Amino acid sequence: MDRLTTFLQQRMEAVNGRVSSPLRSKRLTVVLGRWLGIAFTVCFLTGLFSHLLQDPPAWMLLLTRPAWLYVATQGIHVTTGIASIPLLAAKLWSVYPELLRWPPLKSVVHAFERASIALFVAASLVEVTIGLLNTFQWYPWPFSFKDVHYWLAWVIIGSLALHIAVKMPLILAHWSRRSDAAAIAANTEGSVPDSTTVPAAVKRGTGHGWSRRGFLAALTAGTGVVVLTTAGQSFAWLSGLNLFAPRRMDTGPQGVPINRTAAQAGVADAALAPDWVLTVSSGSVQRTFTLAQLAAMPQYSYGLPIACVEGWSQGAQWRGVRIRDLMATVGAPSGAELQISSMEKGGVYGRSFMPAAYSQDEQTLLALELNGEPLDLDHGYPARIIAPGRPGVLQTKWVHKVEVI
């Protein structure tokens, strides 16, 4: 056993020596951790907001203004998620030699610390991977993306908080240049203290290559390029730089992108049927409206964005009947919540629930037109929902029933 232990220790120290770099230091790790922590926290909070909007609890205050609120929060969510990929890679690079320390487990507390880090790293890698694939609407897994993405976010933020608590003394010691210098002076006699296996040339500072400042500058530039060349799918003022995001503005039928076509939803025949009617009901009161009857009602036009959970958004001009006017035709109370049903069968979003904050907003429409023309079939012809500040998955297309619940 002793021979095996000695062999493993020698091998790990040899590997550690080969991968050591003068760029690595506790100060660098703290700086990278600070940036990654900010990105993860912003991504978590904006993602939590999106998740709650899709299934709002009773206590949640639902805001319909500004109408671009969800465009901003979901755009920031996807952008910070993309930015976290190079930051996470750099952070892992800065600390992975620690996995080669001997002995691998020093105590029960050390084992617990390593287990929490392993959980954080594994959850983070899965989270950013499935999140990136979601922007491309590619789901090569059998589980629910929405549920797994949501609960992994809690695992990450919880393990991150635990990691910060455990490492707080080290973080404080290397938080700033001044504290970093004081920590070095207190623990060493001026040599680089970060690794006991750093080659002698590195310890003497005679190695060549990048400086830590150059490394951070390159990482900042690389992260900025990744963000600037993808965020244009969310923010119109960056659309001219959008080179790599899966969606582009002003594309698709009527100049607006789509996620799901009528053919994919299996509603083309029903949507184009000449006997289509909209049913509106409240308790025992029920009315039906043909498309011509809806078009004869007072029409309102608003410029509203549609923003999807994948991160893309697009502003457009919508025209149609106010939802609150339709509710009035069946005597529905002003504070009522609605269930909107699509002709789509079996889809996750074939039905949506509309709280009173949206149903009573003057800009919430049963839209019949988009950008001055009747709705394209893939945009929800003959009628769809458009409301300010809601996720695109709740802007139900191919509507055929509105019920007070």
Q: What is the mean pLDDT of residues 369-376?
A: 98
CA-CA distances (angstroms) from residue 383 to 129, 221, 262, 392? 36, 46, 13, 15
Non-local CB neighbours of 58 within 8 Å, separated by 6+ positions: none
- Distance, in Å, from the CA atom of 356 to the CA atom of 378, rounded to the nearest integer, reads 27
189: confidence class by pLDDT, cuts 50, 70, 90: low
Over 50: is that where the pLDDT of 203 sits? Answer: no
Give the pLDDT confidence of 7-39 residue by residue, as tens digits: 777 777 777 677 678 888 999 999 999 999 999
Percentage of the chain with pLDDT > 70?
A: 93
Q: How far is residue 216's CA from residue 97's CA, in Å, rounded to a whole number?
A: 19
Count Cβ atoms within 10 A of the Cβ of residue 124 and give its class: 0-12 exposed, 13-18 middle, 19 or more buried.
buried
- 135/129 Cα distance (integer angstroms): 10
The predicted-structure confidence for 211-228, as pLDDT tens digits, reads as follows 888 999 999 999 999 999
pLDDT of residue 188: 62
Judged against a pLDDT cut of 90, whether residue 1 lies above it is answered with no
Amino acid at 28: L
Whole-prediction pTM: 0.88
Q: 191 is written with which tokens?
A: 């040599």
Residues 6+ apart with CB under 8 A from 43: 77, 80, 81, 84, 153
**Burial class of 107 by CB neighbour count within 10 A (0 to 12, 13 to 18, 19+):** exposed
Rg (CA), the chain: 27
Closest CA to 74 of 396, 394, 397, 398: 394
Tens of pLDDT, residues 236-286? 999 999 998 999 999 999 999 999 999 999 999 999 999 999 999 999 999
Q: For residue 208, what pLDDT band results from cuts at 50, 70 and 90?
A: low
